[in-house]
Amino acid sequence: MSLMAGIVVLVDTSVFVAALKSADGAARQVLRLCLQGELSPIIGHKLFLEYSDVLKRPKLFENSPATPEDRGALFHGFLSVCRWVNIFFLWRPNLPDEGDNHVLELAVAGGAAVVITHNLSDFAGELRFPGIQILTPGQFLKLTR
């Protein structure tokens, strides 16, 4: 078992999209680790809806070999290893994009150690959570290997 086994992570939709576009990138490796049970991903209502919406955007996947059916199957597989988390307290971290606040709130509610995203600047809000790291897939893999 690896050093990262059991680490609670929140995988941002940007990572999922990147994993579908590159067969050997860091995002694909993060997704693979989740599916293999090496990481413990969390998901909640708003993030589920965001994933569902993003997966229906054909322009995002123009250069992806994955068909809509492949994307759906991978999403269902990912959901099967995620722990569903309800958010009962809204922290409102005042992120640059108000629409991203739910991601950090979910990370807090689910006890995530890391939010894995390609959009680091999106998580530079006024309210900081020292127990949660915001890392790209590459940064995360370097720290855990």
For the stretch 24-78, pLDDT in tens is 899 999 999 999 999 999 999 999 999 999 999 989 998 888 889 999 999 999 9
24-36 residue pLDDT tens = 899 999 999 999 9
Contact 133, 114 (CB under 8 A): yes
Determine the 3-state secondary structure of 65 from DSSP. Answer: coil
Contact 11, 140 (CB under 8 A): no
Contact 46, 102 (CB under 8 A): yes
The structural domains of the chain, ordered by start, are 7-144 (3.40.50.1010)
Binned at pLDDT 50, 70 and 90, residue 125 comes out as: low
Burial of 99 (0-12, 13-18, 19+ CB in 10 A): exposed
